[in-house]
Amino acid sequence: SAVISQKPSRDICQRGTSLTIQCQVDSQVTMMFWYRQQPGQSLTLIATANQGSEATYESGFVIDKFPISRPNLTFSTLTVSNMSPEDSSIYLCSGWDNGHYGYTFGSGTRLTVV
């Protein structure tokens, strides 16, 4: 099955700064997804990232706050911009895994904004 390496695994950031989260997949995936999750709770989809086109954002999420890059079929980044304590959460990337007939997730980035 595909493996997604996500980094950083955790970070503590000052409010007003930005953090870029990276996800590297060991195989090509057409679509990648970025989620946000509070510990012990469900996942909320932020956006869908396709190569060569702008990401598609879900209601409540905007590109200026969460810019996404997808330069190729194995890599994507999510930036959390101008952070506030409300952005403290776990951020996860995901991609469709043909071999596993399901979605593979990165291990997540636990972000704390102080």
Partner 1 sequence: TQLLEQSPQFLSIQEGENLTVYCNSSSVFSSLQWYRQEPGEGPVLLVTVVTGGEVKKLKRLTFQFGDARKDSSLHITAAQPGDTGLYLCAGAVGSWGKLQFGAGTQVVVTP
Residues contributing to the site for partner 1 (CB under 8 A): 4, 6, 9, 31, 33, 39-45, 48, 92, 94, 96-97, 100-108, 110
What's the min distance (Å) between Cβ of 16 and partner 1?
A: 27
- Is the preceding peptide bond at 8 cis, omega within 30 degrees of 0? yes
Q: At 48, list the tokens.
A: 């869908």
State the pairing for strand pair 4-7/56-57. Answer: unpaired
Least Cβ distance, residue 56 to partner 1 (angstroms): 9
- Quickly tell me which residue has 């390496």 as its tokens: 5
Nearest approach, Cβ of residue 47 and partner 1 (Å): 9
User: Given the complex with partner 1, which of 79 and 107 has the nearer CB atom?
Assistant: 107
Q: Residue 68 and residue 99: Cα distance in Å, rounded?
A: 26
